[in-house]
Amino acid sequence: MTASPTVAAPPAPALPADPSYKWKAMIVAGSGIFMVTLDGGIVNVALPALAREFDAALTLTQWVVLGYVLAVTGLLLPAGRLADLRGRREVFLSGFAAFGIASVLCGLAPSMGVLIAARVLQGAAGALIQANGSPLIAAVFPASERGRALGLQSSVVSIGLLSGPVVGGFITQLVGWRWAFYVNAPVALVATVVGMRLLRPSPRGKVQPFDLRGAILLVMGTGATLLGVTQGSDWGWSNPETIAAIGIGVASLVAFVVAQTRTASPLLDLVLFRTPAFAAALASGFLMFITISPVILLVPFYLSLILHLPAGEIGTRLIVIPAISAAMAPICGILADRMGVRTLAGIGATVAAVGLSMLVALPDAGSTWPLVAALAVIGIGQSLFLVPNNSSVYGAAPRERYGVVGATIALNRNLAQSFGQAIAGAIWTVVVRAAAGGGSELEAPVEALMTGFRTVFGIGVACAFVAFVVAVIVRPTSAVPAEGGAR
């Protein structure tokens, strides 16, 4: 989840006289947060079924995920700005309704291209929900209860992440992948109607000018680069289309960075990156998300193509990492306070590397227990690394900039996941096709498939090592604490 972007904050409204109002807001906002997190897990499980039905390569199928993430990435900050201008309740509920409509369009999609386009629309709606769910909750709870409220919100996120793979697996297996999208529609409809009745209109404050140029450059740069990377194996890496897509993407991202230095209200505050501890923490976090992304993308294909599990059983295996993360997060926060960020992050990166090494050694037949054990180890390593690392990002920034810091962490995570999955999918496809002597990777022999899996997960081990180096060796031994920052 993300924090809304920094704006000229309006005066805090008085809390409603109705003592139950805050819980009504929690129910409505929590429903939206639950729906978008649930949907992510549902869709990941359905990917193998989508690839088979539309006879699509992984490089195209993964855009069902990437298109959504790209839309969320580019529109999170604009969604927060829009809410400050038009009212947070109004924008949040509009996102709810739009998410339901886009879900129906996904379910009705007659082709992979239409499905991807509908997922982009769903991602735009998801950005409206993600950017404004937490602020809706924080605005109605008094300061003395705000931590408790946001803790409950985190629990909702964990429940959604845990439920998604299981629900998606059984829906896909029993009634087909289309119902994995249709299931969102009644939830969105009911929540929108109830939200209009329960939530009071939000105050509209004065906001800074919106950086439209920055938003366009960010979306264009990310989208074009991802397009070139994911389709390079099909188009050809020396094909002018591939070169043009990657070239336009990189040029747009460079232009985005330059533009952020020349606007009074940038989407990304580059001043924060002048603090070495802040830059190192974000860089190591980016590397860890790159490390984990191939697991999210490829494990469903391993379970489907190698072990031949039905979708329902695939879902039950995919809950391992979010379950471990949900259980470990509070413990890791306590450990970070006692052991320090560098030590715990170093242990986390090492444990994650061990888990990825276990994936490299997965068998090409038999039980799923080796996979489950590897995912559990990765989940432990991810939690040990990311919880203290995110805390150190905040600790290296002034407290008054925490809004933009939260948005930057979310942007960092989404970009890493997008590029991580795109690169992993491209490498896996190239390796499998080369090992199989050509043809569709979905019809390749087991030996070729396993060569692809082992290659990608082996690269993940190397990425975990680089994350360790940045987090433990490159990271300054002590950050200069900004006002209100953590040590």
- Which CATH code, of 3.40.50.720, 1.10.1040.10, 1.20.1250.20, 1.10.20.140, is assigned to 269-487? 1.20.1250.20
What are the tens digits of pLDDT across the range 255-297? 998 988 888 777 777 888 888 888 888 899 899 989 988 888 8
Give the mean pLDDT of 79-93. 78
Reading the block at residue 413, the tokens are 């995570």
d(C-alpha 81, C-alpha 92), whole Å? 12
Single out the residue of 407, 413, 410 nearest to residue 81, CA to CA. 407
- Calculate what percentage of the chain has a pLDDT beyond 90: 24
d(C-alpha 123, C-alpha 71), whole Å? 5
CA-CA-CA-CA torsion sign (282, 283, 288, 294): positive
- pLDDT reading at 143 higher than 70: no
Residue 1 pLDDT class (50, 70, 90 cuts): very low
Q: pTM value?
A: 0.71
- Which CATH code, of 2.130.10.10, 1.10.1740.10, 3.40.1080.10, 1.20.1250.20, is assigned to 21-200? 1.20.1250.20
DSSP string, 231-289: HHHHH-TTSHHHHHHHHHHHHHHHHHHHHHTS-SS-SS-GGGGGSHHHHHHHHHHHHHH
Q: Are 229 and 418 in contact (CB under 8 A)?
A: no
- pLDDT reading at 385 higher than 80: yes
Q: Are 409 and 77 in contact (CB under 8 A)?
A: no
For residue 228, is it left (φ>0), alpha (ψ between -120 and 50) or beta? alpha
**Which of 165-169, 400-404, 471-475 has the highest average model confidence (pLDDT)?**
471-475
pLDDT value for 42? 79
- pLDDT reading at 8 higher than 80: no
Q: Are 322 and 162 in contact (CB under 8 A)?
A: yes
pLDDT value for 416? 87
Q: Comparing 28 with 18, which gets the higher pLDDT?
A: 28
